[in-house]
Copies of this chain bind each other. A is one copy, B any other.
Amino acid sequence: MDLWVTEKQTEIMAISYKVKKTLHSEKTEFQELAVVETEQFGRMLLLDGIIQTTIGEEFVYHEMMAHVPLNTHPNPKKVLVIGGGDGGVIREVVKHPAVEQAVLCEIDRRVVEVSRKYLPEISCGLDDPKVTVLYADGIKHVKENPNTYDVIIVDSTDPIGPAEALFTEDFYHSVAGALTKDGIMVAQTESPFVTPDLVLSCYKRISSALPLTKVYLAHVPVYPTGMWSITMGSKTYDPEKVDKTKISSYPTRYYTPEIHYAAFALPKFVQDLLNEKAK
């Protein structure tokens, strides 16, 4: 049998990977959850049929979500990850020497449990003594914890279904409220090629909540077009004014001090898109 998993990334574009076998499939309280083993990138996590991460290239997204804000903040002691139940971002967060406490707030307990079972290379960070896992609604959590976190990382699924509320101006204001006085947030904000309007609206919404907002890019093979945007909102620190020689050194596979800067060099069409903000 020639088995393939196909994600219709949009109504008019699809990506397919040859599958060795299906390891897990269930309908949780919140979504359809599956793990398949692909030939190209090894084990792959899907939520509602949308590829979330794979063993072969997960490091790009997880490192870029974690290390850019962590190395922009001079002392990120307390970090919150909203979503990200696979544990990949948390695994990166606890690498940073300044981090004392890392909280994962994931609404769907089954994502964590299944990731622990089938994606141990990704979920291993969840066992770190610095980590607390909460099975809770991230929106409620940030509202109930003002002035608490140095860095908040919004590792959401796409803005359809359960994650839609994680892309609203209201939510970003709650996140800003949950940050300490010099805190930093980042959120994954999709592809400038496929959903430029969404990239722009996230930029505008985060800008409305936090004074310094910048977009950076990473090459994520399994996401539509491979060009993925992450938007940072910061109260004080500018990610492009970090002293490169002071960036913490720990093992990474994508992130480097040079990549920290290079990621903010936006292609002209992305710059032009964000400049529409002024209009």
A residues near B (Cβ < 8 Å) are: 4, 6, 10-18, 38-40, 56-57, 59-60, 193-194, 217, 219-221, 225-227, 252-256, 258-259, 261-263, 265-269, 271
A254 to chain B, nearest CB (A): 4
Give me 23 A-to-B residue pairs in the complex whose CB atoms sit less than 8 angstroms apart, sorted by A's number.
A6-B16, A10-B40, A11-B18, A13-B40, A14-B17, A15-B16, A16-B16, A40-B194, A56-B193, A57-B193, A193-B221, A220-B226, A221-B225, A221-B226, A221-B227, A225-B226, A226-B226, A226-B227, A253-B269, A254-B267, A256-B266, A259-B268, A262-B262
Return the contact of A225 from the options B4, B38, B219 (Cβ within 8 A). Answer: B219
- C-alpha spacing A254/B273, complex, angstroms: 12
> In the complex, which of the residues A194, A225, A261 has the most CB atoms of chain B within 10 Å of its own CB atom?
A225
Which residues in B have their C-beta under 8 angstroms from that of A252?
A: 268
Q: Are A265 and B269 in contact (CB under 8 A)?
A: no
Return the contact of A261 from the options B39, B254, B265 (Cβ within 8 A). Answer: B265
- C-alpha spacing A261/B240, complex, angstroms: 14
- C-alpha spacing A13/B268, complex, angstroms: 30
Which residues in B have their C-beta under 8 angstroms from that of A10?
A: 40
> In the complex, which of the residues A11, A14, A217, A266 has the most CB atoms of chain B within 10 Å of its own CB atom?
A14
A15: nearest chain-B partner, CB-CB: B15
- C-alpha spacing A27/B57, complex, angstroms: 37
Which residues in B have their C-beta under 8 angstroms from that of A271?
A: 256
Which residues in B have their C-beta under 8 angstroms from that of A4?
A: 14
Which residues in B have their C-beta under 8 angstroms from that of A14?
A: 4, 15-17
- C-alpha spacing A101/B259, complex, angstroms: 36
Q: Are A265 and B254 in contact (CB under 8 A)?
A: no
A265: nearest chain-B partner, CB-CB: B262
Which residues in B have their C-beta under 8 angstroms from that of A57?
A: 193, 225
Instruction: Give the 7 A-B residue pairs with the shortest CB-CB distance, closest first.
Output: A226-B226, A262-B265, A262-B262, A221-B225, A12-B39, A12-B18, A219-B227
Which residues in B have their C-beta under 8 angstroms from that of A221?
A: 193, 225-227
- C-alpha spacing A266/B39, complex, angstroms: 25
Which residues in B have their C-beta under 8 angstroms from that of A59?
A: 269
Return the contact of A265 from the options B56, B60, B220, B258 (Cβ within 8 A). Answer: B258
A73 to chain B, nearest CB (A): 21
Which residues in B have their C-beta under 8 angstroms from that of A6?
A: 16
Which residues in B have their C-beta under 8 angstroms from that of A261?
A: 262, 265
